[in-house]
Structure 1
């Protein structure tokens, strides 16, 4: 008996869901079509009174400390190459065309299969669940690259459309292909977390739990919505922390002292160089004066000899000049070494 219908006569008119009546449906036209049972997480007050099926609780599903605040609405996810066969599916079931590079998603309406127009379509053009259209718990077909095909609320649709536009992902084939690739290479999860294979509910808790791994929600929301407050808070959070006034004063004093020390160092280096240059110049001048005195003392002026006298005195003069030059060379060498 349904939890949402206290009227026993109304509950008696409902029947079990086709997913429970036939848990392993087969197609005569495409026998290789596979199926997986999935659920929509619905609040009891979001299920309309004219919903034709019973909504029994599933043990261990959507239970919070033994209290079932949500009810599971089942649907099948079929897969196969090409379009879905007409002899398969009930209202609310979905079908994925596995044709490479041309994936298409379908949803079963009351009488036929309809193709999903993609994430860029307007809300009026999206496929709504045939049993949850004109009600508070309206659900629309969507594809999540990790959680797969879902029936989600309008708030989730709008949030994901905004993020996908910012990311430049606007085709259904791209989303479906990402989902199939991610499913083929599952991501390792913590053992404490249960694998999320069910659709999301419309309350605020489910909105906070939606994946941020694919949808660039944090950046996209700031760029697309133009929320200046959020942008300022994000930028301010990335700025380095300013130092305290005491720390700033210490840094300024340290910079001033360092500059003063550098100036003193340059002055000392200049003085040392000037003294060294002056010392070298003084020593050179002293050596020159000494050589002049010695040369002058050894070469006293004398009367100019005649030609005959010069010829006689020339060998002796040459010896004296050689001795004088040798003496000067030795003196210069000894002074330079000292």
Structure 2
């Protein structure tokens, strides 16, 4: 897959020659609904002998339009989005910088420069895709702006349990600690990237040494709590017990931390770029009366983590 970063106005020579099927969307998380849209484009591209291109943005349009009062927390970083797109079989990934100048394009100018200009023969988008004000710039108006230069294919919404599969719904599930349900909608277990940093070494003192993870900025963390999870270090995944919380047992007003106790692992990994896979929510965070009470609970959490992975392995074997 080739990734091409565009900033408005782009130079025509940045666009590879050759016609494409162009899939449009922001694709935060590249969940099952997004995958359905991309798969539709991939099928058409294969039938017509064309390359499959996807156009997305480097940041959410709401950043420019100031629709959110709080910083946006994404389900996937750009790097993660690129990896997920490659798994979907995308040939060309256009990452357009969503800036004020880009946002100021008229619907016709957007179509001329970012659809026709990218050599699209067929455009594929979800039913709710817009490229300006919905009343004049939804997928329903695309044929009007196309002037017979490309075809438009609209993909209907994907539902699960009677509800639309959406990034918003997945965020709500993660913030409620329902990571297993979120994984069903994503099509994979939710992950957060980060770097291992030094902590206060309290976990080691308790007999449960942890890797303290500095999570990548603007990435959504699941609900505070204790999880069965996995940590990827150097391309290898390790079973682990994870905690998102403030360590309230040791005092109030502490910073939020992400701490991962890797099972059967005793190596120094400071400075490593890692990813945490949040497999299952085990329990809420609790302020314990003493360190001994916390240790007792951590032993139970570790056993629950082992049992989770044993069940998972046995289920896979069946």
What's the TM-score bracket when you normalise by the shorter of the two chains?
Answer: under 0.3
What TM-score do the two structures reach when normalised by structure 2? Answer: 0.22
Q: Name whichever structure is richer in helix by fraction.
A: 1
Q: Name whichever structure is richer in strand by fraction.
A: 2
Which of these two proteins has the greater Rg computed from alpha carbons?
Answer: 1
Higher relative contact order, structure no. (Cα contacts within 8 Å, ≥ 6 residues apart): 2
